[in-house]
Structure formats: C-alpha cells, structure tokens
A and B are shown apart, each in its own frame.
Chain A
Amino acid sequence: MVDVIVLIKQMPDLEQVKIDSNTREPMIKNVPKTVEILSEHAVEEAVRLKEKYKGKVTAILLGNEQSSAIMKKAFAIGADEGIIIDGYEENNPANTARVLATKIKEIKHDLVILGNQSADSITGLIPGMLSALLNEPLLGNAGKIEVTGTTVKVTRILEEDNIEIESPMPSIVSISQEINEPRLPPVMQIMAAGRKPIKTEKIAPVISKAVTLVSNRAPRSERKKLVFEDMDKGIPEVVKVLKEGMK
C-alpha cells in the first residue's frame, strides 16, 4: 500500500499571454488558467503507483472555484480525492511551500509527488522547501519510481548522469517530464469525474513583503535586425560576419 499526495499547479496559459506594446507589460488579467504540464505527469505517476501497489491518491491544488476543471481532469486520470486550497494567489515560492506543507501535514501519506519545476516561473524551489518544512527526504527529478516495503527507489535524472537513489518513506519525490506519458482517460471516466465532489478549503490570504516587484516587462531586443530577402546581398554579409567570428 502506498498513499500518495500529488500536488497540482495551475498557471496562466502562456500561449495566451500577450504583451502590451506601449508598456511592454504582460496582459494577464483575463488569461485562463491551465494545468502546468508537469503536474499532469505527476498525477499520472501517482495513479500508476496506486494501480501497482494499491493505496490512495489525494490531489492538492492551490486555486479557486474556477479551478474545478483542472481537478476533474485529475479525477479522470484516477485521483481519489481532491482538495482545492482557495485564497492563496501569490507567486512567492516560500509562501507557496508553507501553505502546501501545512495541508500535507494533516494527511497521512507515504509519498508526496510533484513536478520538479514549473513552466512559468521555473524556480524549482518547492521540492527542496517542502523537504525541509516536512522533514522528509527529497528524491528529486525522478525518471522512475519503485516502492519496496517502506522504501522508495528513484532514478534521479541529472545533467551529466543518472543515479539510482533510495530512502525510507515518507518522502518527497519530484518528477521529470520523461517519467511517463499521461493517459487520455476514457469518456466514462471523464463523466464520472465530473460528478465527484471536490473539497474546497478557504484560507486567509498570505501576505509577504519579502520581495518587492520593481517591474515586469518584456525585454527589449537590441539586435540589428538586418533581414535580407535578396540572397545576393544577404549571404555575403553573413559570410563576412562568420569569418570575423572564426578568428
């Protein structure tokens, strides 16, 4: 038996974020939220572990009422319970980790599974922070997870090598995208997921002034932008630059 908590992150659909040409600031207000891609892999992995070793999968998502579609997707893949923590909208890793850790402590678990970093802010800090806050070992960037008794074994994917590591449970496992290919749930399961109740828990807003935002703007390109459509002109120019660079 392996009881798994899986953490789901929602983020703005980056494809739909446009830049205001005057202020160069992102226009993010009405951009719909989508599930962070690694979270889908995390849910898939949690469900695969349940299918292999039995146990329960509890999904936790920081969001609001509009997040139920994302939770239903997790249900359709096979999550048993879903908790939406409503009221935390900040984007500060230290606070995110604290809010998550508080909830995780209330739930019996063998493993906490989450993505190793997210596609919007790419901080990759949450796994380490949770490990320290929960005092559970971190097995990071897993490409494979196996459980034997009360021990978890993970293939950790590093930049230059892969290492096989293990620790006793409970522990935190962050996953890499290549761990699995999330399934496309059958229609019956999607429909059943729609009827499943979601627990929503309101929390008081967390306010932090640790980091002050000065600006959030699209970077300006300072390139020359000499674009040639006439190759008789363009190619000699490029060849000149390449020859200069080879010196």
Chain B
Amino acid sequence: MKFLVFSENLGSLSQMITYLREKGEVIGVGIEKSSSEAANFGASRMYSIKGDILSDSAAKLLEELFKKEGADSIFLSSSILGREAAGILSVSLGVGIVPEINEISFDGSKAKTKRFYLGGKTVLEEESEAKIFTVSPGISDAIKSDKTSEVVSIDAPQSKIKILSRQSKKAEGSNIEDAKIIVCIGRGLGKKEGIESVKPLVEAVHGEIAGSRPVCLDYQWLGEDRQIGLSGKKVRPAIYVGVGVSGQIQHIAGMRGSKTVIAINKDKTAPIFEEADYGLVGDLYQIIPKIVEKLS
C-alpha cells in the first residue's frame, strides 16, 4: 500500500511517517521549514511546500499528489489546517473519511480504525473503505529511520483566501510534546501562586510544566500551548505526573499515551487514580517538597 501523509507540524508528520512506514510505502508532504528534518523518518519521498499553505490550497495540492503518486490513502494530522483540508478533500475526491484516528490496520482495502468518541468517554472501532484519515497527535513516537527521503520542492497552489498578516504566538519555552517528563497541574493547585511550589519538582526531574484545561484556558495560570487534553495537546512522555489534576475524561484523552502515570491528589476518589500507575493521596504542598528533597 502507498500512503500520502501530510502535516504542517514536524512532530505530527514524523510520528505519522514512523507509524505508517511498517504498513506500506510512505510519501510525506510537509512545509519548507521542516521537510529536511522530516526526511529522516523513512518516507520514500518528501514533498516540501514552498509558500503559504491554507486549507483549500492544501486540499488541492494533496489531490494532485494523490493522483500523481497513485496512493491508496491520505493521512492528515488533525490540526486546524489538517481537519479543514481533509473535509474539502473528501468532497472533491468523493471518497470516505474517518477522522481523529489513533490506530489503524488494513484487511485488504478495508481499514480498521479506532478513535475517541463522546468527548473521550468511549472508543469507536470502525471498519470502512475510507481513503482519507485525520490522525490524532501522538499516534506513535517519532523514531528516525536509516533511510533518508528524497526531498522534492513543490509550490503551494493559489488559495481563494488572502493572507494579510501573520503574528507568531510567543510560546513559553519549549514544547511539551517533546518532553520526557511532564508535570501537569490541575485546579487542585487552588491558586496561581501554587505554581511556585511545583516548579522545584519540574526542575528536579528536568521536565516541562503543563496544565489541564481549567488551568490553561479558564484561569490562564499557564499558556494555552501548555494545555493537555482533547482540546489541547496530546502527549506521550515517559512519565506524566499529575498534580492536583482530577482526571476528567477529556484530560485523560490527552495523556493516555504516557508510559508511566503518577498522580498526586488529596481526593481519594479522583478519577485520575483509575488512570495512574502510582498514586499518592494527600496534600500536594506537603508531598512535593518531600519528593524534591529525596530526588536531590
């Protein structure tokens, strides 16, 4: 089988290529600034898009490449751009689509997929003849291959939309999706100043700090780029430490891929303990200094 794989995000693109390269031949499509790096993950060819790409022009480009490459299916990362382009593509190609997959296998031309449903409460297992898939971030770790892809530069097609200006969002430090250890704070912290008590732990484990939806969106104690969950980032660190995180299902959907989960919460009945390998029931403000002391 031959897969056409697109993402404007380097992390998602390399994860998807890693995941699919065992199942068939992969043709990657990325943006200029990340394609040379994305060429290290085992795609046979990597198309590098020059110029601004919007959802209509991305769909047009992928339609052309799909036909030119004679690919069997198209995978797009489920980013804002990817989801929109996927919707347009499914209409213009007139083929079936399954969104937000986090697992896929093939039985002949039939695709068996899994995705979250009901806000992450359940998983839908589906079978289809779909040709387009949007892929939830974190479908796999990104693992380099010893094969380097041939990089082919390609111009972005014309869009119906005009870009007037671009404003970069200032990110606070590095990307939580790349962190080996994540310390995630929840509303159980009680107050913004509580972050100061968590920071020594973050430093002691050389990790990154992240937050649940209320912490990042409602209270804005942390930036939006640090939000873990269904509506935020999906992470798969070696260790996830939830501090005062209750474990709402939407949050769990964003951290389920973590290798080991540690939870600290004073409420014994918090759902996070159902999703934890190690749980500590108690006051985080007393527990954290003790952990930090023992780590140093």
Contacts and interface: CB of A to CB of B under 8 A. Distances in A.
Contacts of A130: 87
Nearest to A246: B205
Interface string A107-123: 00000000011011111
A131 B87 CA distance: 8
A124 B238 contact: no
Contacts of A129: 87-88, 90-91
B122 A14 contact: no
Q: Which of A122, A226, A246 has the most CB of B within 10 A?
A: A122
Given A117-B83, A223-B276, A132 B291 contact: no
B25 to A, nearest CB: 25
B128 A164 contact: no
A246 B89 CA distance: 43
Interface stretch (B53-61, B139-147, B192-200): B53-61
Contacts of B56: 131, 137-138
A219 interface: yes
Interface string B270-296: 000111111111100011001100110
Contacts of B167: 161-164
A46 to B, nearest CB: 20
Interface residues of A, number: 76
Interface string A123-136: 11111111111000
B262 interface: yes
Contacts of A119: 119, 231
Interface stretch (B16-24, B64-72, B94-102): B94-102
A165 B283 CA distance: 48
Interface in A183-217: 210-217
B97 A125 contact: yes
Q: Which of B225, B230, B281 has the most CB of A within 10 A?
A: B281
B152 interface: no
Contacts of B281: 227-229
Contact of B128 (A140, A211, A221, A236): A211
B122 A219 contact: yes
Contacts of B225: 159
By secondary structure, the A interface counts as: mixed
B121 interface: yes
Given A124-B78, A214-B125, A238-B278, A132 B92 contact: yes
Contact of B294 (A116, A221, A239): A239
A235 B83 contact: no
A214 B125 CA distance: 5
A12 B122 CA distance: 14
B274 to A, nearest CB: 6
B294 A229 contact: no
A93 B78 CA distance: 15
Contacts of B122: 19, 25-26, 216-219
Given A140-B80, A167-B161, A210 B128 contact: yes
A132 B85 CA distance: 10
B150 interface: no
A145 B241 CA distance: 39
A166 B277 contact: no
Nearest to A157: B80
B163 A164 contact: yes
A17 interface: yes
Contacts of A213: 124-126
B291 A138 contact: no
A215 B274 CA distance: 22
Interface string B145-188: 00000000000000011111111110100000000110000000
Nearest to A161: B168
B88 A128 contact: yes
Given A140-B80, A160-B168, A164-B165, A237 B127 contact: no
A132 B87 contact: yes
A11 to B, nearest CB: 9
A161 B84 contact: no
Rank and list the top 8 A-B pairs by shortest CB-CB distance, nearest first.
A128-B87, A132-B91, A227-B279, A124-B83, A123-B99, A214-B125, A245-B239, A125-B87
19 contacts: A26-B118, A119-B119, A124-B78, A124-B80, A125-B90, A128-B55, A129-B88, A138-B56, A160-B169, A162-B167, A162-B169, A165-B163, A219-B122, A234-B278, A236-B294, A241-B260, A242-B291, A245-B180, A246-B180
Interface of B: 9, 54-56, 59, 78-81, 83-92, 96-100, 112, 116-119, 121-130, 134, 160-169, 171, 180-181, 205-206, 225, 230-231, 238-239, 241, 256, 260-262, 268, 273-282, 286-287, 290-291, 294-295
Interface of A: 12, 14, 17, 19, 25-26, 28, 93-94, 97, 116-117, 119-133, 137-141, 153, 156-167, 174, 210-219, 221, 223-229, 231, 234-239, 241-243, 245-246
